[in-house]
Amino acid sequence: MLFSNVLYTAVAVLPALVSAQLSGHVGPLTSSATKTAKKSCNVLNYGAKADKSTDLGPPLASAHAACKTGGTVVIPAGDYAMNTWVSLTGGSGWALQLDGIIYRKGTAGGNMIFIGSTSDVEVFSSTGKGAVQGNGYEIHAQGSRTGARILRMNKVTDFSVHDVILVDAPAFHFSMDTCTNGEVYNMAIRGGNWGGLDGIDVWSNNIWIHDVMVTNKDECVTVKSPSKNILIENIYCNWSGGCAIGSLSTGTDISSILYKNVYTWSSNQMMMIKSNGGSGSVSNVVFENFIGRGNAYSLNIDQYWSSQSVGDGNGVQLKNITFKNWKGTEANGSQRGPVRIICADGAPCTGITVSDFAMWTESGSSQWYACRSAYGNGACLKAGSGASYAAVTTTVKSAPTGYQAPTMKEDLQTAFGTTQSIPIPTMPASFYPGVAPVSRLAGR
C-alpha cells in the first residue's frame, strides 16, 4: 500500500505532555502497480527455477540489476533454493514481489537478502504467502547460532515491507538500520526458542511498524540506538522474548517512540528497557494498551542488565517515559513482580508515569513493585526528582479491578525448539484483540 503524507500523533500524556509521532510521510513514493507497468523482471527469465534446487541468488541479482532503476522484480509462486546471498543495492523506484517460498541452502553468514543505499522501494507478497524459510534448525541443532540474517535494510528511504513471512533464521530475522520513512506491516515471523534470533530490530528515523506477529526466544520488535519518530502498533508477541528498547550503552540517542496495542503471550517480558552503564538519553516514549498473559516479566526497566558489559558513562538518562493502560496477568508475581523500574544511580530516571495499570499473578496470592533511583507518578515511584536511592519494594496482596484480559486464538502452547523444522505459518486475522489490521491482508 502506498502512504503519502502520513502523520500520526499521540495524544499528550498527563503533565509531562509526552508525544511520540511519525515526522511525516512513510512508505514508497510510487506504487508497485506503477513500477510493474514500467518494467517487470521475472526471475524465471534470468535462470531461476522453482525446483527447490537451483540457486536463486544469481538470477535474483540479475533481475534486480535489470529493474533497479524502475520496475518490479517478481519471484512467482513455487519453491526456490538460495545457496548464495544477494545484495540489492543502488537504484530507486523498484519493487520485489515475493510470491514464492525461498529455502536457505547456503551456509554463509551475513544477510540472505541485503537491500541498501536505495529509495522508493517496496518488498511484498501479492498473495500473503510469500516466505523465506531459513532452516535455522539445521545450524542450531549443532549448538551454533552463527549464520545469516534473513533480511537486512541499510540506508533505505521511502520504503515498505509487507505481507511476507520470515521463518527460522539462522541468526536475526529482519533488521532496519539507518533507514528513513519506512512502513512495515502484515508480517509473520517465526523463529527458534533460543536467544539471538531477533524478530525485528530497528534503529532508524520515521518508521511505522504495525500488524506483526513474532515467535522466537529473543526480541519481538525492538528499538535500538540511534532512533527517533518510531510508531509501533498492533504487535503480537506469541511465545517470544518480548519487546524491548536496547541494549543501550555509550552515546544512546532515542526519542519520540510510541508502542501501542501490544499483546504478549508466554514471553520473557512485555516490555524491557535494558542498559548497563553508558551515556546519552531515551526520552518522550509511550507504551500504551499492553495486554500480557503468562509472561515472566511485565514492565521491566533494568539499567544494570547483567547480560551486557558495562558501557562508559554514569548511565543512560531515561526521561518522560509513560506506561498507560496495561492489563492481564504475569506468570508468578511473587517471584517476578509486574513492575520493575531499576534506574542507574548515576543518572536517575525522571518523569516516569505508570497509570491505568491492572495486572495480577497467575500463581500465588501476591505480587510486588520495585523501584530504584526512579522518579515520577504511580507504582513505587518517588515524586519529583532527586538523587539516587536504593531499591524499594511494594507488596500487593489483592487483585486490581479490571485486570482480566482476552486471549488470541493463535496463542502457541509450546515453543518450536531448535532441532526440528519450523512450519511456515499463515497470517492471523488480527494482531491485537478486537483490532483489525490497519491495511487489508494480501490475498484476503
Q: What is the pLDDT of residue 367?
A: 98
Q: With 0-12 CB in 10 A as exposed, 13-18 as middle and 19+ as buried, what is 417?
A: middle
CATH 2.160.20.10 residue spans of the chain: 1-209, 240-411
Statement: residue 36 has pLDDT above 50: yes
| pTM, to two decimals | 0.95
**Interval 169-214: pLDDT, tens:** 999 999 999 999 999 999 999 999 988 899 999 999 999 999 999 9
* CA–CA dist 157, 179 (Å, integer): 6
| CATH of the structural domain 1-209, one choice from 2.60.40.10, 3.90.1170.50, 1.10.3720.10, 2.160.20.10 | 2.160.20.10
Q: What is the pLDDT of residue 21?
A: 81
* CA–CA dist 2, 27 (Å, integer): 6
* CA–CA dist 91, 68 (Å, integer): 5
Residue 164 φ then ψ, to 5°? -115, 160
Average pLDDT over residues 283-295: 98
The residue type found at 1 is M
**Interval 326-370: pLDDT, tens:** 999 999 999 999 999 999 999 999 999 999 999 999 999 999 999
**Interval 153-175: pLDDT, tens:** 999 999 999 999 999 999 999 99
Q: What is the pLDDT of residue 189?
A: 98
Average pLDDT over residues 314-337: 98
**Interval 42-68: pLDDT, tens:** 999 999 999 999 999 999 999 999 999
C-alpha cell at 1: 500500500
**Interval 415-441: pLDDT, tens:** 999 999 999 999 999 999 999 999 999
- Does the domain formed by 240-411 have CATH 3.40.50.150? no
Q: What is the pLDDT of residue 145?
A: 83
Q: What is the rounded average pLDDT for all residues in the chain?
A: 94
Q: What is the pLDDT of residue 376?
A: 98
* CA–CA dist 114, 85 (Å, integer): 8
